[in-house]
Chains A and B, each alone.
Chain A
Amino acid sequence: MSARAVRAAKADRSRLPAPRPSRGLPFPAVEKSALPGGLRVWTVRHTQVPLVAFMLLVRRGAASDPAGRDGLAAVTADMLDEGSGTRSAIEIHEALARLGAQFDTDIGSDATVASVAVLSRFSQRALALLSDIVVRPALREEDFARVRQLRLHRLTQLRDMPTALADRAFLRLLYGAHPYGHSPIGSEATLAAMTIDDVRAFHARAIRPAVATLIAVGDCEHEDVVRLAGEAFGDWTGAPDPDATDSELPRQSAPVTVVPRPRAPQSELRIGHVAAARSTPDYHALVVANTILGGQFVSRINLNLREHKGLTYGARTSFEFRRLPGPFALQASVQTSGTAVAIRESIAEIAGIRGERPATPDELALGIAALTRGYARSFETSEQIGRAAMQLALYDLPDDYFQEFVPRIEAVTADDVSRVTARHLDPSRLLTVVVGDLDAIGADLAGIANAPPTVLPPESI
């Protein structure tokens, strides 16, 4: 071991250095135009790396699946890159590969997104391809047969995945026949009933420019993107069918449901209920409340279940803010022997924050600081900025939304947290789904609701 070097300042380890204020990062300006056909074209300049990320957001998603056709929006999204005009699916992907492009389609309840990121010198070719893919997909019968078959195989495989089983059972119990009651992939029965004509009709009725926004983020100029978008999307016109509307939620089912998975070493848990829409005036207070309850590593629920009890690799909660009221959910995978304890503790934490254990001043300060001080991190890459801009487009948020986020979060008080958790969290309505070893946990679970848990066979989901 060598002697310690002499240095100018010695570290003071008697206390942690207080963070100094950091300069804020103004959210970059979004320049907005619209094409005559209705497509909105938004650009954000971000020139760190010679890349551009293009995202085409269409405000129609799995919630728009017609009755009896669960999974249609997702199949349609999947069919977009299966060829265009006379080009086959392989040829479309060869063209993307020649640009070194990262291409993706993404489907959620409220939207379909096709995105392509390229070196900026390939912007023109990328937009032309994106237009071929979204506006002029071939939608051929033979490709449909293959895509549907792959999705049916995927469903088969999902039966063995505890996380997928838990998600699907949870949504169905929460929402029933409501537009949010199925996962985007649909089911064996609805996929089997689907035809290529369904896909063509859905594409014609939903994927329309009147509800679409093209977002370009990167090393690009607004006028250039508008011009290139005009060349690529100029002849795209039309409005879609009306959006999905809220419908009645199912009657409250039994509080605890088990999807049996014999000999499972862990139980996959979902605990929650339908909560708030993205438009709720309580949005910022709920974000703070969730951070304290289960939204970060040092949240109450993760510290309790992981750091104190060692029952899980991690537990978290979230409000899914969507156009219509989305779910509040706690998710965790816990060791089988600790299943009942974990459920009891989770419910107690949810009840506690809205009742007898309100957020403390320290928790509130920490939660607010975690959300605000690190805010600049969320806008480092083109893709992150593009995803943020998509939130503006999808939920009609004001242009100054990101500028206002920090001050509005900082204005949240402990009373706000108590008020909004009391309003939006209701322990008496919580539904619990457990994918786990029924033989090992059934008796323990009966104690939670003073009744045996409802059993939902995996093949019925």
Chain B
Amino acid sequence: MNISFTRQTLANGLDVLLHEDHACPIVAVNVWYHVGSKNERPGHTGFAHLFEHLMFEGSEHHDKGYFQPLQGAGAALNGSTNADRTNYWEVVPTGALELALWMESDRMGFLLPALTQAKFANQRDVVLNERRQNYENRPYGLAPMALLAALFPDDHPYHWTTIGEIADLERVQLDEVHAFFRRYYHPANASIALAGDIDAGEALALVDQYFGEIDPGDDVEPVRASARLQRDVRIRFEDRVELPRLYLAWLTPAMFADGDADLDLATDLLANGKTSRLYRRLVFDERIATDVSASQNSREIAGYSQITATAAPGHTLAQLERAIFEEIARLAAEGPTDEEIERGRVQAEAQFMFRLQTVGGFGGKSDQLNAYNVFLQDPAYFDRDLARYQAVTKASLRAAVARFLDAARRVTLSIVPEGRPALAAADSAVAVVS
């Protein structure tokens, strides 16, 4: 299942990953900058994401919209920002590869001369509207803000969400944007992957032609921070919702660290799909919840696991909390069944295949090569990544659950209908979220 690729590093430090796949006459261009909301500081949040928007507004030699020439060439394109990285991608017909490289390299090397106050003000308005649409005006939409703020201390870079605080977004100035670009957007902090209908040698020459002339920039120091929960932090807030919802969250190992794959499978067998233990009990048998889900959210310098359940009418969050911890305790004591382990393994294998069906876009082979390269400096990690899941045993999964999904060290968040604070789990303090 290995993905064949070559890696070259240009003289300016830019990593170039090349994967040939001639099935379809398309090429995925995928650029990662190793910068996300984790590189922001308190009072200056939302910056990495706002910056992603500005990357589509034109650069020195093409000082107008980024979309028009590429969409006219038949490309799909987009970008995204998370806590740890920002990515930009195009999937283009083979004949438009050079155009995509021209455009990507121009905004890597020559963005600032074109970055004006007017563009900046417009995109800040767009981002504030993105925030209203996806968080403020959406039921339970502010849950991530409350959870992250409670899990991670004020000065930890996972304390805030990628979309950022409204006040910070309103305060940000153009000169900060320029400084941010100079610090993080350069070859030494980037990795580009091309996957698809290319000749690796020709493609490398093109990448070198367009990106090789860009100054390398300064190395970026890794972000270091630590977090520790010492108790059950119980919080609540009221929202425009009909049914109360319970969120449980724990600090867990970082991406690729020991225990990460165990918790990934553990959260799946607890609450992913109709075969999961919590779905069976809460939704299917006892019918005290309308839905339940769980995930291990592994990030570069820390992770957190989360279980979410919505109370069915007539039932309480206390009932959900009790039942969920009974199931966690049972898993921590007895471990998973052979069948659950076998299911987890085959599902992991199938998920890998599903992810590698496309050359690019959000996900796909180019994005996965960049992920392994940026986080592990090892784009050949595919096999070992799958092996992490195949290596999970009943004992290792049980131990991870017992150690990390600890009832005494967690965040317990209740989101309840407006005017009904009594529906929150007991002893919850009011959380201020915005």
A residues with a Cβ closer than 8 A to B are 1-2, 4-5, 7-11, 13-14, 16-25, 48-51, 81, 89-90, 93-94, 97-102, 117-119, 146, 149-150, 153-154, 156-157, 159-162, 264-266, 268, 296-298, 303, 306-308, 310-313, 333-335, 365-366, 369-370, 372-377, 379-383
Q: Contacts of A303 on B, CB cut-off 8 Å?
A: 65
Q: Contacts of B12 on A, CB cut-off 8 Å?
A: 2, 4-5
Q: Bound complex: CA of A1 vs CA of B130, how far in Å?
A: 37
Q: Contacts of B205 on A, CB cut-off 8 Å?
A: 8-9
Q: Contacts of B128 on A, CB cut-off 8 Å?
A: 335
Q: Is B180 on the interface with A (CB-CB < 8 A)?
A: no
Q: Is B161 on the interface with A (CB-CB < 8 A)?
A: no
- Contact check, B99 vs A380: say whether CB atoms are below 8 A apart: no
- Contact check, B354 vs A117: say whether CB atoms are below 8 A apart: yes
B residues with a Cβ closer than 8 A to A are 10-12, 21, 23-26, 60-62, 65, 67-69, 71-76, 91-96, 98-99, 102-103, 105-106, 110, 121-130, 132-134, 136-139, 205, 208-210, 212-213, 215-217, 240-243, 273-275, 280, 283-284, 287, 290, 310, 312-313, 339, 342-343, 346-351, 353-354, 356-359
Pairs of residues from A and B, 8 with the lowest C-beta to C-beta distance, nearest first: A373-B74, A310-B125, A100-B350, A374-B74, A20-B95, A5-B11, A22-B93, A19-B96
Contact of B67 among A4, A13, A266, A297 (CB under 8 A): A297
Contact of B357 among A24, A150, A312, A381 (CB under 8 A): A381
Ordered by A's residue number, 11 sampled pairs between the chains whose C-beta atoms are within 8 Å are A5-B12, A8-B209, A17-B98, A22-B94, A146-B284, A153-B243, A157-B290, A265-B136, A366-B72, A380-B24, A380-B357
- Contact check, B284 vs A372: say whether CB atoms are below 8 A apart: no
B247 vs chain A, min Cβ distance (A): 16
A364 vs chain B, min Cβ distance (A): 11
From B95, which residue of chain A is reached at the shortest CB distance?
Answer: A20
- Contact check, B283 vs A150: say whether CB atoms are below 8 A apart: yes
- Contact check, A366 vs B95: say whether CB atoms are below 8 A apart: no
Q: Contacts of B122 on A, CB cut-off 8 Å?
A: 307-308, 310
Q: Contacts of A48 on B, CB cut-off 8 Å?
A: 21, 23, 357
- Contact check, A266 vs B102: say whether CB atoms are below 8 A apart: no
Q: Contacts of A94 on B, CB cut-off 8 Å?
A: 275, 339, 343
Q: Contacts of B347 on A, CB cut-off 8 Å?
A: 97, 100
A-B contact count (CB 8 A): 248
B211 vs chain A, min Cβ distance (A): 9
From B106, which residue of chain A is reached at the shortest CB distance?
Answer: A13
Q: Bound complex: CA of A149 vs CA of B288, how far in Å?
A: 11
B392 vs chain A, min Cβ distance (A): 15
Q: Contacts of A99 on B, CB cut-off 8 Å?
A: 346, 350
Q: Contacts of A100 on B, CB cut-off 8 Å?
A: 343, 346-351
- Contact check, B290 vs A90: say whether CB atoms are below 8 A apart: no
A78 vs chain B, min Cβ distance (A): 12
Contacts A146-B284, A372-B74, A377-B74 aside, 5 further interface pairs with beta carbons under 8 A come to A10-B213, A22-B26, A51-B353, A117-B354, A153-B310
From B245, which residue of chain A is reached at the shortest CB distance?
Answer: A157
Q: Contacts of B67 on A, CB cut-off 8 Å?
A: 296-298
- A7-B208 contact given A266-B137, A373-B93, CB 8 Å threshold: yes
Q: Which of B61, B71, B96, B137 has the most CB of A within 10 A?
A: B137
- Contact check, A333 vs B133: say whether CB atoms are below 8 A apart: yes
- Contact check, B350 vs A366: say whether CB atoms are below 8 A apart: no
From A13, which residue of chain B is reached at the shortest CB distance?
Answer: B61
- Contact check, A369 vs B313: say whether CB atoms are below 8 A apart: no
Q: Which of B127, B205, B353 has the most CB of A within 10 A?
A: B353
- A374-B93 contact given A11-B210, A98-B346, A100-B347, CB 8 Å threshold: yes
Contact of B95 among A19, A117, A266, A375 (CB under 8 A): A19
Q: Bound complex: CA of A14 vs CA of B92, how far in Å?
A: 22
- Contact check, A379 vs B213: say whether CB atoms are below 8 A apart: no
Q: Contacts of B24 on A, CB cut-off 8 Å?
A: 25, 376-377, 379-380
- Contact check, B353 vs A7: say whether CB atoms are below 8 A apart: no
Q: Bound complex: CA of A10 vs CA of B212, how far in Å?
A: 9
Q: Contacts of A268 on B, CB cut-off 8 Å?
A: 137
From B206, which residue of chain A is reached at the shortest CB distance?
Answer: A9
- A157-B139 contact given A266-B133, A380-B359, CB 8 Å threshold: yes
From A218, which residue of chain B is reached at the shortest CB distance?
Answer: B357
- A160-B242 contact given A22-B96, A97-B343, A153-B290, CB 8 Å threshold: yes
Q: Bound complex: CA of A157 vs CA of B60, how far in Å?
A: 48
- Contact check, B273 vs A97: say whether CB atoms are below 8 A apart: yes
- A16-B62 contact given A22-B96, A119-B350, A157-B242, CB 8 Å threshold: yes
Q: Contacts of B10 on A, CB cut-off 8 Å?
A: 5
- Contact check, A298 vs B99: say whether CB atoms are below 8 A apart: no
